[in-house]
Structure 1
Amino acid sequence: MHLLLVDDEPLELEQLEYMISEQYPYWTIHTAADASQALKILSEHPIRLSLLDIQLPGKSGIELGMEMKKYEHIDIIMVTAFQSFNYAQASLRLGAKDYLTKPIIEEELFHVLDQYKYAAIQSHIVQEALTIIHEQFSEKLSLSSLANQIHINSTYLSRKFHEEMGISFSEYLNDFRVQAAQRLLRQESEKSISSISEECGFSSQHYFSSLFKKQTGCTPREYRIREKV
């Protein structure tokens, strides 16, 4: 699922993105600091859900939300630091699905977002495939072995997975493994990079480092040092 976060506070935007990506690692998250950036992203990506800060420079979140109403497939959740009845009322008139106040509490955020957990997934086949990937990503998992566990043809699974997830099975698996590696690099400071590579299902540390840098812009070692600062 494609999610759009709009907030003009860089730190709050970064923290919100971090919380959501940890809980929903298979979502594609886009960020914008104002309405013009948000509208550009909307024109280029199939956004399903957007969290809009009400207080934005230029057009307010309410005004941006009104423009977004032309995209009928997009749900809107308003976010604000002010517990105002007027804001809540304006959000309801806009047709927002929910209304969150800052500082955002993880439990409240996830309660709202859980209903979109499998928003883009229409078949039980892909849901079952995701469950297996999340449980067995550290093992030697291939498309054919996954298809065998679900008892369907691997070509059919490949097509359904790409249709509903927007990326291929191998891309999703590698993305999920890299995200798992990021968590371990942050949380297990004494664990070697080779051990993390193996624990996340990579057969080659060189391939792991290469893929990690391609996706994050830095090597695993650089990432670990950066996260300690």
Structure 2
Amino acid sequence: MQEFYKKALIAVLLLVVAEALLACFLIFLSYPSLSLLPARGDGGRWHYQTYSDRTTGGSSSVRLDNATRERMRFDFKLTDAASYPFVSSELALDDKHGRPAQADWSKYDTITFLAKCAPAGSMTLVISTFDDKISTAGKFETYRSPGSYFSCNEEGVPVSLDMTRLTLPDWWFDQLKLDRSDQGYTLDRVAKIVFGTSAHGRRNVDSYLEISELALHGRDYRHVVALTVLCLIGWLGFGLWFFHGRARALTASLDSKMEKDLPLVAYRQLTLEPYKDKEKASILQFIATNYMDPELDLERVVHATGANRNKVNEVLKAELGMTFTAYLNKLRLMEAARLLAEKNSAAVAEIAYSVGYANVSYFNKLFKEEYSCTPKAFRSLAAPSA
């Protein structure tokens, strides 16, 4: 049994290590992320472009700085020529033929970036998404455009925005004559991401906005569910293996122990036969014929055989290497094991009493120490071979 428990311990350690590694891997996968800078997409189809209020009669200027694609920077100057002065820089997606395309960002819920600007103030982020019901491909004014404000300064402000809680602008509802309560949008068909000025931008001042470390982040709970299922399967498999293996190991251990006890059974029979040493024979014969008596103790053996205490223990030590108590329990437990295997209808308590134990709990304790299982478990294991 000790060998089996060592194997079980090794199996537990290997299972724990395997599940720890699996947990690290699946938990890592449960936090998907996507870096958008340097600008790229499937086949490198992301590209920068700028817009300003000049399309509506304004005179604001904007210039994209493409010195490095690790960041997106544009310099601008707002003027009051237009009713709503604005400038923006966009990261747009095209297909391989140069036509507007969409990206699936549905597994992401957060966008993060580092925002630097001068003068310090607030800017806007807009995510343009295609809506099958109202959008026309290539006409971005018909796309849903949820957005939010963020702050920036020359030192740089780390920004994290929840993409599921952006707000659609009122002008977009007015332009398309839609109900303003229809605030829903999806991120499965994103066409572009826009960084622009807000209505509170300073006029006639040379300004800039620089965006870097632009990335998307999400949480995929399917990997957490998969981890839970795999862990449960792993422990269930280990449990089945453990109980099946333990039963087999215990059966083998009991068979081995019973085989080792066979010489002792034969010796007990031998003690009932004539013995050259009369005193020794008297001691062994008395114990072999009275071991099932619950009143049997060392004093009674001494009284019945006429030998002294030291002589009784000396005989048992010399012949069997046991003390009187150990030999007495050995004989009783061997007989109990035989009765358990052969008499399925007899109760454990009945067998305990029949082999000389008045206390069933004490009998159960000694039996488990001897055979590494309870009497009931022994009976179930010994039944097939009985």
Greater C-alpha Rg: 2
Normalised by the length of structure 1, the TM-score is: 0.49
More helix by share: 1
Bigger relative contact order (CA 8 A; separation at least 6): 2
